[in-house]
Structure 1
Amino acid sequence: MLGKVNNFWVKGVLDKSISQDELVRINQMRDAEAIDHPWHEIVGTAVYDSESLTTETSIYETFLESDQALLILGAPGSGKTTTLINLAR
């Protein structure tokens, strides 16, 4: 499965469409209000305060700091898919 993602999305889509130099860093923000955390008290899942992250923070760093769980929200064309492909890379 990882090989298919790499071959199709990373090599087939991302690498052919734009170079790494052309990627625009999107604004990242942790938004505590974006989702409910019904299991937090029982399981002890992490709940973060809302905060803006610097544009130097990579999506991989954000992913690791967020217990390897992300909900990526944004308007059409804002870079959600490209961000996920970069994370898969």
Structure 2
Amino acid sequence: MCSIFDGKEDHLGLSSGFEIPGIIAKLILRENLDGNVAMIKAGFTDNPRVGNNEGMLGILTKGKITRQDQIEQAIANALIYILFKK
């Protein structure tokens, strides 16, 4: 999610959502783990800072879609109203 303030109003943009593997969801919900720790415990990565790098989506898509892609998408979507307002 991104919020851009144009001096008068906030404009929000979202990136795409995705379903995370059940084992990761269970670890997050049942053991109160954050996504990084759950990814490690489930065997998807050994990087304790996955959220600061390719992100969960980058690992799950084998680099085809990354966290950076999601950030850019959210920013672009927040800019839509600013760029095209009448």
Normalised by the length of structure 1, the TM-score is: 0.23
Larger Rg: 2
Higher helix proportion (structure 1 or 2): 2
Normalised by the length of structure 2, the TM-score is: 0.23
